[in-house]
Amino acid sequence: MLHIVNKSPFERNSLETCLSLAMDNSTILLIEDAVYAAMQGGKFSDKMASAAEQCSVYVLAPDLQARGMPDEKIISGIKTVDYSGFVDLVADNKNVQSWL
Amino acid sequence: MKFAIQVNEGPYQHQSADTAYQFTKAVLEKGHEVFRVFFYHDGVNNGTRLGIPPQDDRNITKQWTALAEEYDLDLVVCVAAAQRRGLLDENEARRAGKDADNIADKFRISGLGQLIEAGIQADRLVVFGD
């Protein structure tokens, strides 16, 4: 299952709710302001690092770039995808949940 | 694979209207099919042709119209959400006694059944919103 999160964890609790309910081995994609959760050294970085061990965590690269966030600052274990990769993630997962 | 897209957010609000467009474009460029794009809630505001964004900014409505022309997309605006927000086609304007309509090219107004049908017919339904 693919979980799509689009809000910063500093703004809303949708990412935390998603992490608490996502099953192991599911896939999580961070887009829009949720890409802030992929950065090292933040309040949520420990939680994200452990999520990346249990699930496949991806972040949308164009949204990182739009916010001036360099690739080397991404928490290790989190992978980047472009829009084409986003489409592949949706195609590869039978269920897609947007955490709005 | 058949995709359906639901857009719940208006243009220029946060980012979801843009993400929905970029995602839909990527789906089509990869050779997948888009069964329908359904505009719901504030998302109906993506379908007004009267918006005039600054010339150096993207025109989200025109982007959708151009994509629909290129790929023969079905862009459907929810009728109840549209009426509340003053998004009208010629028929709706006449029926409600309004002096103008404002729907953009390639968009059409229809009911929620179109969303349900898209959910059934498509292999994936992806929701973009606030």
Q: Give B 42-61 residues with CB within 8 A of chain A.
A: none
**CB-based contact A87 B125, cutoff 8 Å:** no
Determine the distance in angstroms separating the CA of A84 from the nearest CA of chain B, rounded to an integer: 6
User: Which pLDDT does position B76 carry in this prediction?
Assistant: 98
Q: What angle do CA A93, A98, B4 make, to 5 degrees?
A: 65
- The band of A76, judged by pLDDT with boundaries at 50, 70 and 90, is very high
Question: Phi and psi dihedrals of B125, rounded to 5?
Answer: -115, 120
| pLDDT per position as a tens digit, B51-82 | 999 999 999 999 999 999 999 999 999 999 99
- The band of B4, judged by pLDDT with boundaries at 50, 70 and 90, is very high
User: Which pLDDT does position B73 carry in this prediction?
Assistant: 98
**CB-based contact A87 B26, cutoff 8 Å:** yes
Among A27, A83, A84, the residue to mutate for chain B (most B Cβ within 10 A): A83
- The band of B115, judged by pLDDT with boundaries at 50, 70 and 90, is very high
User: Which pLDDT does position B87 carry in this prediction?
Assistant: 98
Q: Where are the domains of chain B?
A: 2-128
Average pLDDT of every residue of chain B = 98
- The band of B106, judged by pLDDT with boundaries at 50, 70 and 90, is very high
pLDDT average, residue stretch A12-16: 97
Residues A27, B56: Cα–Cα separation, whole Å: 37
CATH class of the structural domain B2-128: alpha beta
**CB-based contact A90 B25, cutoff 8 Å:** no
- The band of A87, judged by pLDDT with boundaries at 50, 70 and 90, is very high
**CB-based contact A6 B25, cutoff 8 Å:** no
A90 CB neighbours in chain B (<8 A) are 3, 124, 126
Please count the helices (runs of H) and the strands (runs of E) in chain B: 5, 5
User: Which pLDDT does position B44 carry in this prediction?
Assistant: 98
Task: State the complex-level ipTM.
Answer: 0.97
**CB-based contact B26 A86, cutoff 8 Å:** yes
- Write down the pTM of the prediction: 0.97
- Structural domains present in chain A: 2-99 (3.40.1260.10)
Q: Which residues of B are catalytic?
A: 78
Which among B19, B26, B30 has CB closest to A32? B19
pLDDT average, residue stretch A79-84: 98
Among A3, A6, A58, A67, the residue to mutate for chain B (most B Cβ within 10 A): A6
Query: Within a 10 A sphere around the Cβ of B49, how many other Cβ atoms?
Result: 14
Query: Within a 10 A sphere around the Cβ of B79, how many other Cβ atoms?
Result: 19
User: Which pLDDT does position A27 carry in this prediction?
Assistant: 98
Question: Phi and psi dihedrals of A24, rounded to 5?
Answer: -55, 150
User: Which pLDDT does position B36 carry in this prediction?
Assistant: 98
pLDDT average, residue stretch A1-13: 97
User: Which pLDDT does position B93 carry in this prediction?
Assistant: 97
| pLDDT per position as a tens digit, A23-75 | 999 999 999 999 999 999 999 999 999 999 999 999 999 999 999 999 999 99
With tokens 């049908």, the residue in question is: B117
